[in-house]
Chains A and B, each alone.
Chain A
Amino acid sequence: MTDTTALIRTEALGLIARKRLIAFGLPALILAYLAYVFVAFDLPGLAERARLDNARALVADSYSYKTHVTRDNRSGAVSIAIEGERKGTYPPDRPPAWVTRDGDRTTIDLGRGHVVQFTPDGLRYDVPGFGPIIATPSTARGVITNLGDDLPDWINRSKNRLAISTPAGRVSVTRNRTEVFRYFKGWELFFFTLDSPYHGHSLRQVAFGPRIDPARPNLVGAWADFWGNAMWHHADVAWAIFETILMAFLGTMGAALVALPLGFVAARNFTPVAGIRFGIRRVFDFLRGVDALIWTIVLARAFGPGPLTGALAILITDTGTFGKMFSEALENVDARQIEGVQSTGAPLVSRYRFGVIPQITPVLLSQTLYYLESNTRSATIIGAITGGGIGLLLTQAMITQKDWEEVSYYIILIIAMVMLMDWLSGLLRRRLITGAAR
């Protein structure tokens, strides 16, 4: 009796000691690994490499835009353009309401009491609580100002340049040009560009008001101008999203179609020859192991960039994944159902059709649909590499490094697209599988 108690005691003590070791050892191990990674990834050096001004531009651009009012100091010509782009230039005779032109004087109201005036020989900026700033650019002597030597930190002055940034906007004066930036919330010209007659009209006016463009009905014209918006390219973006979903759909469904017969070959209860089984399983492992990245590269060499390449890369990788899963599902089917069908004298095809397929349909459908959602994400990534769909648009918008509002727009669209596919695949799974064996 005492013997067994002692035995249990030593055993328990051993277990507790082991537990203690794990309880302290595991966190210590994780910490040690993280410390190693901290050094290996050069996290201390990250602070220097990080470009916070990039981050600021990105964040500011994603919720606001700026309108440039530019005066060419040689010719005296003034142009007003959203984001300084040609597509967003206001016609000279119709400036926005906050800019008034009177001969060679242009008055720009930046709001909050800030007023900038282009005078024939320079610029006058009335900053509330600071007083007027007068700057005169001259080809010979740089930029001359009325400012003293003691400057606040929002004014930056050198011989040839004056830069002022206030909460209301930004002003920059050089010898060649004077520029004023006014910031606005939102995404510029998201619905209509400036050349569209519908710009600046509310939804109510477009839908129910009198005809704006005499040549065509309001709704038709508005839709055409919105869909063909030269800055946001709504039609192209919609097409890119469709292309991405198409890649995912073709890849997933194609893989399921190819993998199903191969799954039979790889399943123990359908293929008695061990050699064939072994071979086909290694093929599955190979297809999965090579990975979508390498398949994409190899296929892009043969077919060129585009959605077909992406779809085939998904198809090949997932054939391996599905083949493995389907063959496992097939090995778990109940042989009695097949025997039952066989006992009625059914031929081989009917035996599979009525004995096997109904048993594996739920697994098959749920896996395929689950992968459809996950492949929408993969298709975005593959599109970024091989050039197709919304992934390509995203990388292109990023490379220009200025259209961050478009980047945010694409990111939102991608998230919405994946969530939509998630919802759809969940819905289909529930619809198709309830009533089946679960």
Chain B
Amino acid sequence: MAPPNGADMRRHYMDLTRRRRLYSGLALMVFVLLMSSGFVVADDRNAGGFWDGLHNIFDFPYQVVAEAGTKLDLLPAHLVHFCPALLETVNIAAVSTLVGGLAGLVLSLMSTRGLARFPRLIPLFRRAMDVMRAMPEIVIALVLIFVMGGGPVPAMIAIALHTAGALGKLFSEVNENADMKPLEGLESVGAGWMQRMMLGVMPQVAPNYLSYALLRFEINIRASAILGFVGAGGIGYELKNAMSWGQGKFDEAAAIFLLLFGAIVLFDQLSGRVRTRLTRGRVAR
């Protein structure tokens, strides 16, 4: 066989490039086709069309702002009035993060190779976490509201379940990077499983755990506001009431929007700060 010369190589290279371009072009075309046909289908199934609704998009915000503007003097009172509801929403998020985080911690330890108390059950715990993660909070919340009646507890349980699954997975990824040497040391002096986990694993993983839990807390505030909307109490419930009342209560809706927006941004920024410090602190050590 003759050694390849420059022209052959060039032709081969151009062939490859052309084929690559063809594939990328095809993929792009499929993507564009999917997007546009998807848009058309969604537009078709929607109650109001996209193009008809587009110029109405600012009508509702305008109404709310206009009404709140005429009743500006009532706004501070509304803000104070809805504070307990906001507190309830934040409490739901905090408790469910706490409970879900603790459950996730146990689940993650149970499903990490090398740390698990019952290594045979690792796949079981993993599947359990997958299912918990896949369940949207609203599903559990609606079922629990039916059984327990409305209120913060169904929302809390629903969010905690999802959080346990989500955090459990992230935690177990952290666990996998933990150094095993402290564990061996502890084991050699006769430490039990609990002692090994508490003294050997926790100090290594705590900053990462905390950082993930804070991120989850942010997400859970949003989730608990949404669940309030379907009857689980808190600020979402107040929002639903104000909205279904319609015109005449838009000043209340505006106050709730403001509170919710403020709370989300506040906790976003706070947890962002703390998380940067946590990760920086770990790098410095």
Cα A419 to Cα B265 in complex, Å, equals 31
Indicate whether A303 sits within 8 Å of B48 (C-beta atoms), given known contacts A41-B156, A58-B147, A253-B35: yes
Indicate whether A305 sits within 8 Å of B46 (C-beta atoms), given known contacts A54-B146, A407-B143: yes
Cα A378 to Cα B136 in complex, Å, equals 8
Q: Are A414 and B136 in contact (CB under 8 A)?
A: yes
Q: How far is the CB of B226 from chain A (nearest CB, A)?
A: 5
Indicate whether A243 sits within 8 Å of B45 (C-beta atoms), given known contacts A395-B142, A414-B136: yes
Q: Are A302 and B60 in contact (CB under 8 A)?
A: yes
Cα A291 to Cα B42 in complex, Å, equals 22
Q: Are A40 and B139 in contact (CB under 8 A)?
A: no
Q: Are B47 and A304 in contact (CB under 8 A)?
A: yes
B214-241 interface with A by 8 A CB criterion: 222, 225-226, 229-230, 236, 239
Does B281 count as interface, using CB distance less than 8 angstroms? no
A355-411 interface with B by 8 A CB criterion: 377-378, 380-381, 384-385, 387-388, 391, 394-395, 398, 401, 407, 411
Does A341 count as interface, using CB distance less than 8 angstroms? no
Across the interface, name the chain A residue whose C-beta is closest to B37.
A246
User: How many residues on the A side are at the interface (Cβ–Cβ under 8 A)?
Assistant: 64
Cα A292 to Cα B211 in complex, Å, equals 23
Q: Are A385 and B46 in contact (CB under 8 A)?
A: no
Q: Are B261 and A290 in contact (CB under 8 A)?
A: yes
Does B149 count as interface, using CB distance less than 8 angstroms? yes
The interface centre, meaning the residue of A50, A58, A381, A388 with most chain B CB atoms within 10 A of its CB, is: A381
Interface of A is mostly: helix
Chain B interface size, under 10 / 10 to 19 / 20 to 34 / 35 or more: 35 or more
B230 interface neighbour in A51, A294, A385, Cβ under 8 Å? A385
Does A151 count as interface, using CB distance less than 8 angstroms? no
Does B82 count as interface, using CB distance less than 8 angstroms? no
Q: Mark B47-59, 1 if CB is under 8 A from A, else 0.
A: 1111001101101
Q: Are B135 and A415 in contact (CB under 8 A)?
A: yes
Q: Are B148 and A46 in contact (CB under 8 A)?
A: yes
Q: Are B134 and A418 in contact (CB under 8 A)?
A: yes
A293 interface neighbour in B56, B148, B225, Cβ under 8 Å? B225
Q: Are B46 and A308 in contact (CB under 8 A)?
A: yes
Indicate whether A303 sits within 8 Å of B50 (C-beta atoms), given known contacts A294-B260, A419-B134: yes
Does B16 count as interface, using CB distance less than 8 angstroms? no
Residues of A within 8 A of B268 (CB): 285, 288-289
Residues of A within 8 A of B60 (CB): 298, 301-302
Does A422 count as interface, using CB distance less than 8 angstroms? yes
Residues of B within 8 A of A289 (CB): 261, 264-265, 268
Interface of B is mostly: helix
Indicate whether A50 sits within 8 Å of B147 (C-beta atoms), given known contacts A302-B56, A308-B50, A381-B137: yes
Residues of A within 8 A of B148 (CB): 46, 49-51
Indicate whether A304 sits within 8 Å of B48 (C-beta atoms), given known contacts A37-B95, A384-B230: yes
Cα A349 to Cα B264 in complex, Å, equals 38
Q: How far is the CB of A379 from chain B (nearest CB, A)?
A: 9
Residues of A within 8 A of B152 (CB): 41
Q: Mark B2-28, 1 if CB is under 8 A from A, else 0.
A: 000000000000000000000000000
Across the interface, name the chain B residue whose C-beta is closest to A309.
B46
Residues of A within 8 A of B43 (CB): 308
Q: Are B151 and A49 in contact (CB under 8 A)?
A: yes
Does A137 count as interface, using CB distance less than 8 angstroms? no
Q: Are A394 and B153 in contact (CB under 8 A)?
A: no
Cα A302 to Cα B49 in complex, Å, equals 9
Across the interface, name the chain A residue whose C-beta is closest to B31.
A253
B residues sitting closer than 8 Å to A (CB atoms) are 31, 34-35, 38-39, 41-43, 45-50, 53-54, 56-57, 59-61, 88, 91, 94-95, 98, 130-131, 133-139, 142-143, 146-149, 151-153, 156, 222, 225-226, 229-230, 236, 239, 243, 257, 260-261, 264-265, 268
Contacts A41-B91, A52-B147 aside, 4 further interface pairs with beta carbons under 8 A come to A46-B151, A285-B268, A291-B260, A411-B143
A residues sitting closer than 8 Å to B (CB atoms) are 30, 33-34, 37, 40-43, 46, 49-52, 54-55, 58, 243, 246-247, 249-250, 253-254, 285, 288-294, 297-299, 301-309, 311, 377-378, 380-381, 384-385, 387-388, 391, 394-395, 398, 401, 407, 411, 414-415, 418-419, 422
**Pairs A–B under 8 Å by Cβ, sample size 13:** A33-B98, A41-B156, A51-B146, A243-B42, A243-B45, A249-B38, A292-B222, A303-B46, A307-B41, A308-B42, A308-B45, A391-B136, A407-B143
